[in-house]
Structure 1
Amino acid sequence: MRFLQVPIRHTTLAVALAAAAVLAGCGRQGVDQAHAAGAPPAPEVLVAQVAASSTQVWDAFNGRIEAVQAVQLRPRVSGYIERVAFSEGQEVGKGQLLFVIDQRPYRAALASAQAQLERARAAAGLARSQDERARSLMAGQAISREEAEARAAELAQAVAQVRAAEAELAAAQLNLDFTEVRAPVAGRVGRALLTMGNMAQADQSLLTSLVSQDPVYVYFDVDEHSYLRYQKLSRESRKGHDARPVRVGLAGEDGFVHEGVLDFTDNQLNADTGSMRLRARLANPERRLTPGLFARVQLQGGGNAQELLLIDDKAVLTDQSRQYAYVVESVEGQGHVAQRRELQLGRLVDGQRVVEQGLSAGDQLVVGGLQRIYYPGMPVSPKAVEPAKKAPAKTPVEPQPQAAAQ
């Protein structure tokens, strides 16, 4: 029996062609199924309408609370401390007794001065009588002119001695008064640095410190650009910038709950730091503003409220040195697409970013789902949300050079 022999290479080729036909049929079937199912849905993003709002601009700085009056109490006379008449850390009134220095030496000095004054007055009385007698005798030529002039000189010397004794008595009384150290101003007193039995040296020994409580100052530094902007606004409004409102918040407080006014501007710029020292005055009836505390300060940046475009700072993206955001636009034949907008931004105002260029009122700004946008012009499905409400800023909101660029 004879068999038909087929070459092996022809058999392999036939198998390969059959497999390719099968795969091609499967590929066409997958494509047809994909077309039947349709394209994947556009990703959902959250959008908020950009709107202009009337906003009062505040610039933020860092400062320190300081007392209006701060006194270091030192004795005016020397002596041993006899009594400490206050409780450490308490508030004291003006003129309240704080320390008593041993008064016995000064009482003795006062008594001696009083005796000297009485002696001088007695001598002056005698000299006055002798002068009057000499004048009457001189009229009758009973004594010489030389003797009458000598008695007049003695009277003048006696009167001078009386005045000197009166001055010594006043000094002795003053020294006795100085043995009672009293508060020169009302405020809170510190700890007693010298206690009973210790020697106090006049004008040298530090007894305690005293700081006033109400009102208080807050000192802060503004950059050169901000200072020049304030000057320009003052010239335009024809009013001094020393009356600008100031708001202050402490480290543990929400927002800026303390209000005051600017009352001092330094007379020259600090060339080392490029800043100007300013001061505001605040009422402190509740004693919450303790001298030395760190303060967050807001200074009103303009006279009247301004119409500003404010957006959520989270909607701003950064591409190297450029800042941009996505807005949703309707394109005919494509539906809603995300378009990129280059932005020029300003300062933060009450937790929101000021947009100077790049957006207009009415734009649909993407505020959520930004990670789903892979390229400009990508189809998206917008879902409207309410715009973010302005919240009081809790920290200094802008580096000063950037804030000064406005």
Structure 2
Amino acid sequence: MNKHLIAIAVLGASLALSGCAEEPAQQSNQQHLQPIDVAEVLVKPVQNWHTYTTRLEAPEEVSLMPRVAGVIEQIAFNEGDTVKQGDLLFKLDARPYAAVVASLEAQVASAEAALSQAQSEAKRAVRLTERKAISTEQAESRTSMLQQREAQLAALKAQLIAANLDLEFTDIRSPIDGVISRANITKGNNVLAGQSVLTSIVSNQTMYAYFDVDERTWNHSFSQVAAADHQQVVMQKVGQSTFAHTGYIDFIDNQINAATGTLRVRARFDENTGLRAGSFARIKLAANDITEQVIVPDKAIGTDLKNRFVLTVGEGNILEYKLVTTGERYGSFRAVTAGLKAGDVIAVNGPARVGPGMPIAPNTVTLDTEGVAFTLSPTAQHTLMAKK
């Protein structure tokens, strides 16, 4: 009897120890589950972007050349300054031209005196002819002389106007508003009319950006766009992380370039905050159609050979492999056009530390999209709701 009691006691102790051992093991397995950030996918109204490279151009650009020859007497601007139309930039030695003006003024005065005498003789000839005191031939000669004096005076006055213009052109003024470059020719040097480039000026209040859109893209996404619509665009300069400059399309060429299969388009930027002609830039143009698409962090998407996938959280917090088709990128987020639906929960950081089939300890986080532009303008996000 004692032997049976001892056996039962030993068996009970063994079962108790076994149960105690299994419970810590289960707790240990739960404690070793990988904690992973997860979030529910977003659904946002978005537009498809098209990006083009370009260089900025000034609407007005002048290579300043003198209209008359002469020696530079004064440079009246600071290099790199902003100038206004009509500002004095260079002054040439005006004395030779002033002398020509003075000479012609004297010749005009002499011609006016000669004309006055010819007018008097012509009037006298009319009276004498009526009394038959002079011959008709003499009267006609005086009339002809009057006409010659009138023509000579008119020619001299025209020469005087031209001479005054030449004198005026010795003051070389800015033909446009803009930013002036350095002086290519300095004080004391002789310059030639229409040949010597003194400096250059570019307008700076507005900038143009020309870019070429391929025919297929234009017909698919922008066929209804007209220049008068002022289709909005955004621009990013070299070294910038965001598309900080907003402009609009103000010119669309009248034909497709048959050699390249592209259409020339121009964007205009009126608010010039540090834009310079010749700068390299990237233009983003958005299609008019606004659609709702699933949005996920770009880092949540993994690559498997030619496929793209995300890891979704399934039953029992087991990660599942989901093939996806991706669309446009918006900041640190990307649109998913196929493979996910609203309500799906994904591993935010992708397959960096985990893989499909793994159980995880989910840590739910919120996807922050503040400051991310999913449409070209903030008001465009309401367009989708208005259409519904």
What's the TM-score, normalizing by structure 1?
0.77
Of 263, 266, 274, the match for 1:279: 266
The alpha-carbon deviation at position 154 of structure 1 amounts to 1.7
Query: Aligned match of 1:163 in 132, 154, 166?
Result: 154
Give 2:196's aligned amino acid.
S
| TM-superposed deviation, 1:124 | 1.7
Distance (whole Å) between structure 2 residues aligned to residue 350 and residue 60 of structure 1: 14
Question: Is residue 302 from structure 1 mapped to residue 288 from structure 2 by the alignment?
Answer: yes
CA contact (8 A) 2:319 2:358 kept: yes
The residue that corresponds to 1:288 in the other structure is 274
Pairing 1:79–2:66 present: no
- Aligned pairs for 1:113-152 within 5 A: 113-152=104-143
1:4 equivalent in structure 2: none
C-alpha separation between the residues in 2 aligned to 1:349 and 1:225?
23
CA distance in 2, matches of 1:144, 1:197: 64
Change in Cα spacing, 1:321 to 1:46, as seen in structure 2 (3 Å) is same
- How many percent of aligned residue pairs carry the same amino acid? 39
User: Relative to structure 1, is the Cα distance of residues 122 and 369 closer, same or farther in structure 2, using a 3 angstrom cutoff?
Assistant: closer
C-alpha deviation, 1:266, in angstroms: 3.3
* Residues matched between the structures, number: 351
Say yes or no: does 1:320 pair with 2:305. yes
For residues 192-243 of structure 1, the C-alpha deviation after alignment (integer angstroms, 9 at most, x for no partner) is 1111110101100111111122122233344444333443343xxxx64650
Closer, same or farther: CA 150–369 of 1 in aligned 2, 3 Å = closer
| Structure 2 CA distance for aligned equivalents of residues 49 and 98 of structure 1 | 65
- 1:295 is paired with a residue of what secondary structure? strand
Report the equivalent of 2:177: 186
Partner-residue secondary structure (3-state), 2:341: coil
Q: Answer yes or no: is the 8 Å Cα contact 2:179–2:203 preserved in 1.
A: yes
5+ residue gaps, structure 1, are 1-32, 394-406
Instruction: Tell me the amino acid that sits aligned with residue 110 of structure 2.
Output: R
C-alpha distance 133-36 of structure 1, shift in aligned 2 (>3 A): closer
Tell me how far apart the structure 1 counterparts of residues 215 and 296 of structure 2 sit (CA, whole Å). 28
Q: Which deviates the most, 364-373 or 345-354?
A: 364-373
Secondary structure in structure 1 of the residue aligned to 2:179: strand
Quick one: structure 1 residues 84 and 368, their matched pair in 2 at CA, closer, same or farther if it must change by over 3 Å? Answer: closer
Contact kept in structure 2, 1:230 and 1:241, CA below 8 Å = no
Greater C-alpha radius of gyration:
1
Name the Cα RMSD after superposition: 2.8
Deviations 1:243-302 (A, max 9, x none): 0122233334442332222212234445666544332222346x5112222223332332
What's the counterpart of residue 246 of structure 1?
Answer: 233
Structure 2 residue matching 1:311: 3-state secondary structure = strand
The 2-side partners of 1:172 and 1:36 are apart by 109
Inter-partner Cα distance in structure 2 for 1:294 and 1:74: 28
Gaps of 5+ in 2: 1-20, 374-388
- Structure 1 counterpart of 2:42, one-letter code: A
Any conservation in 2 of the 1:213–1:284 contact (CA below 8 Å)? no
Q: Distance in 2 between matches of 1:252 and 1:288?
A: 13
Distance 1:369 1:112, change over 3 A: closer
- Alpha-carbon distance in 2 for matches of 1:221, 1:211: 24
Superposed CA offset, 1:67-106 (max 9, x none):
2211111011111111111111111221111111111110
Could you say what secondary structure the match of 1:232 adopts?
coil
- Structure 2: distance between partners of 1:179 and 1:130: 42
Residue 356 of structure 1 pairs with residue 337 of structure 2: yes
Distance 1:392 1:362 in 2: 21
Hey, what does 2:190 align to over in structure 1? 199
Contact between 2:309 and 2:321, CA under 8 Å: does it hold in 1?
Answer: yes
Contact 1:98 1:183 in 2 (8 A): yes
Q: 1:47 to 1:349 in 2, by over 3 A?
A: same
